[in-house]
Structure 1
Amino acid sequence: MIQTDIKTIPNTKSLRTYTVTLTYPAFRCRYEMEPEKTNFAVMTITYAPNEVIFDFPSFMAYLRSFEDVPISLESAANRVLDDMFERLQPIWARVHVRTEREHGVVIEITAEHGQLSHSRSHASRPDRAE
């Protein structure tokens, strides 16, 4: 079962546009069609925070909770993106998954949501001070 209790902490620089990148080289889940086999992949998550950022230990526990779940890498990438938007409500986020198969075949999946702008207007957030 995928754990969805991703804890968040306040973003003390919410008026600043910046990105956070987490690369998790040990992402694992079960093959959807053959649950006895394990999918191994590198998952890279990049997001532009809004009001909150993820609590790193709880986010890592969330990613590890995929280990025994039969799910395709495509579905896993989109599930992570959806769960991030539900909990963090970032300005923008991208989840990239890369795996290598037999015969040198490389599979890459990218799921993205939101729009990254490099300027944040104080006028749009009058209740926040930098």
Structure 2
Amino acid sequence: MKKILWALVLLAVLAACGGRGVYLYENRGNPYGGPDRPWLIIGARGAGSAELEKKLCQKGELRKILSEARIPEGSKEDLFLAACGPRASAERFLEIYYGLPDQTRLRLKKTFEKHGYSLNDYGC
């Protein structure tokens, strides 16, 4: 019986830790956060605010943010395609994001903040 209980606990932990992604929250109009502020998981189509996704991908705000953060050219294009390309992937974005040097990641996070967003990674 104990083994079954431990197996269920382990399964629950694995299920809870399975979904990693980089969450983006829009802070404009919601300076203290709150459940009603627009959010999305970068690269996960349809997960979050469609309006925010359109603003970042189709209206070019993400390209502007990546340029302002001085992301190296190859990584910049890879991040954009992982977030907005035809085969967008939250996992791929996360992999590229964590492959960046610490200072580059910090610069990117600060640039998002300058544009009115909070950038958070999620998962175990």
Provide TM-score, normalisation by structure 2.
0.29
